[in-house]
Structure 1
Amino acid sequence: MHRPAVYRVVLAQLLTTLCLSLFLLPLGTIHVISAFMGGLACTVPNAYLVWKAFRYRGASAAQKIARSFYQGEAGKFALTMLAFVLIFTLVKPVEPLSLFGAFVLVQSINWFTPLLVGRRQ
């Protein structure tokens, strides 16, 4: 079986993180690092959710699928909180506008999930 198309969303988030970080290069290293960390603070937890939620398939695994979605969402929330705690405690200095701006921009990629996943043929 091949990987679900929803993995494209995670790839799009990662590419957006990289492009945005490079776009901010003229503003300085602090902006680049802050944007990169903000993008990863969104992408890594979302990748965990996708991995956790889409590892089972088929009608016979319906209970496992539902349980995995709940566990994936809880893990995504915990990983996001952990990411921001680590960023604000370990990284000095941080540019909050670049950090949160990148986080919000990368999070908005989820709005385009139907376009990235497409219809199954």
Structure 2
Amino acid sequence: MSKPPVLKIAAVQLLLVSLASAAWYLLGNPVTALSIFLGGALCALPNAYFALRAFRHSGARAASRVVESFYRAETGKFVLTLCGFAAVFVAVRPINAAALFISYSLCVIVQWLLVARLVR
């Protein structure tokens, strides 16, 4: 079975956030760089989980399994995102919360744009 094309979106998100994080690190702000990377990872990794879980089944005969996979994948993605944010705020000190949320938000926007491009 081939990998779902939406898995590529998570790879692009991780690449972009890694580049942005490296740029901030080179500019001399390692706390912001780490916050940017973590924010992007909190978006990209649950998306990768969703892609792997949601697209395990295909075909008309597997319709009920497809729907069930999507619900379970979305629930898992939501739980991973919540636990990820909780873990970051508990375990990472110091953190730049603004950079974390901006990076997460930009990754969500990148996801929307790439999904729209994939659908066309």
TM-score, scaled to structure 1: 0.90
2: CA distance between counterparts of 1:45 and 1:2? 20
Code of the residue aligned with 1:58 in structure 2: it is: G
The one-letter code matched in structure 2 to 1:79 is L
Q: Deviations over 1:58-78 (max 9, x none)?
A: 111111110010011111111
How many angstroms apart in 2 are the aligned matches of 1:14 and 1:61?
32
Q: Percent identity?
A: 35
Q: How many angstroms does 1:107 deviate by?
A: 1.1
The answer to whether 1:114 aligns with 2:116 is yes
3-state SS of the aligned residue for 1:94? Answer: coil
1:42-81 maps to which residues of 2 (within 5 A)? 42-81=43-82
Structure 1 unpaired stretches of 5+: none
CA distance in 2, matches of 1:101, 1:23: 16
1:2 Cα shift? 2.2
Mapped pair 1:18 → 2:18? yes
Distance in 2, matches of 1:5 and 1:105, equals 20
Q: Does structure 2 conserve the Cα–Cα contact (< 8 Å) formed by 1:20 and 1:102? A: no
Relative contact order higher in (CA < 8 Å, ≥ 6 apart): 1
Q: CA RMSD in A?
A: 1.3
Displacement over 4 Å in runs of 4+: none
Deviations 1:54-108 (A, max 9, x none): 1111111111110010011111111000001000000100001111111001111
